[in-house]
């Protein structure tokens, strides 16, 4: 998957590769080329017990640039939380559910 994103006026080009796919359960993609030193994103889906689906994201990443990356990590982490919150809301709206995340539904960063 190739795409370009712009964040705070900085253009980032990504090349992602699907690493694993279990239909109806999960898929994992990883950065082949992009702005991170490492990026792995696992998407899992599970029944919420009420006719809906809970989508969980587990993101493992490492910033480039050594000490400089460590210094800006709190800013990057906050930005990632905003990006995933926006994505969650967008998915809900597309599926006709503009509610807030359900209990147990979360993005985990590592």
pLDDT per residue as tens, the chain (110 positions): 998 988 888 899 999 999 999 998 999 999 999 999 999 999 999 888 888 888 889 999 999 999 999 999 999 999 898 888 888 888 888 877 766 666 656 666 66
Tokens coding 82: 């905003």
* R_g (Cα) of the chain, nearest Å: 15
14 and 3 Cβ atoms separated by less than 8 Å:
yes
Give the strand pairing for 107-109 and 53-62.
Answer: parallel
Give residue 54's pLDDT.
83
| Structure letter (DSSP) for residue 49 | S
| Residue whose pair of structure tokens reads 């239909």 in the numeric block | 23
Task: Tell me the C-alpha distance between 87 and 25, whole Å.
Answer: 19
25 and 44 Cβ atoms separated by less than 8 Å:
yes
Give every strand in the sheet of 53-62, ordered side by side: 2-7, 10-22, 26-33, 38-47, 53-62, 107-109
């Amino acid at each position: 998957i190739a795409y370009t994103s712009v964040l705070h006026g900085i253009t980032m080009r990504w090349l992602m590769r699907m690493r694993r796919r279990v239909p109806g359960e999960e898929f994992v993609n990883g950065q082949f080329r992009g702005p991170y030193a490492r990026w792995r994103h696992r998407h899992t889906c599970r029944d919420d017990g009420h006719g809906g689906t809970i989508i969980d994201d587990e993101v493992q990443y490492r910033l480039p640039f050594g000490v400089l990356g460590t210094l800006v990590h709190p800013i990057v982490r906050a930005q990632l939380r905003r990006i995933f919150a926006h994505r969650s809301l967008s998915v809900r709206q597309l599926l006709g559910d503009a509610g807030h995340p359900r209990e147990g539904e979360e993005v985990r960063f590592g």
